[in-house]
């Protein structure tokens, strides 16, 4: 006995519209074919990754600045 189970998405989504260069669009279509993914899925993944990288960077820079300040004397000694 075979049953058809379908995944139901409970995540709210919105529809967007954008313009991209034709060469970039064709490249995205090729990646979608090669990876057996939908263009929508690839764009969602790309947006999620972009946002994650943009949000992490300020935190990383803040930690770097804190570390530099905490180790200023060591840095001065190493530079001698």
Q: Which two tokens stand for residue 57?
A: 């960077």
pLDDT of residue 2: 54
Is the entire prediction scored with pTM above 0.75? no
Residue 64 lies in a domain: yes
Residue 23 lies in a domain: no
Residue 56 lies in a domain: yes
Mean pLDDT by 10 residues, the chain (80 residues): 61 91 97 96 94 81 89 88
Residue 4 lies in a domain: no
Whether residue 50 contacts residue 57, with contact meaning beta carbons closer than 8 Å, is answered with no
Tokens 């263009």 — which residue? Answer: 39
Whether residue 35 contacts residue 42, with contact meaning beta carbons closer than 8 Å, is answered with yes
Number of domains making up the chain: 1
Q: Structural domain of residue 73, as residue ranges?
A: 39-80
Residue 75 lies in a domain: yes
pLDDT of residue 8: 65
* Helix boundaries (H) for 1-80: 22-35, 39-70, 72-79
């Amino acid at each position: 006995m075979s049953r058809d189970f379908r995944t139901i998405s409970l995540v709210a989504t919105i529809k967007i519209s954008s313009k991209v260069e034709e060469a970039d669009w064709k490249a995205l279509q090729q990646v979608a074919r090669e990876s057996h993914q939908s263009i929508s899925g690839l764009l969602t993944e790309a947006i999620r990754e972009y946002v994650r990288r943009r949000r992490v960077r300020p935190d990383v820079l803040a930690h770097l600045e804190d570390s530099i300040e905490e180790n200023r004397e060591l840095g001065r000694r190493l530079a001698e």
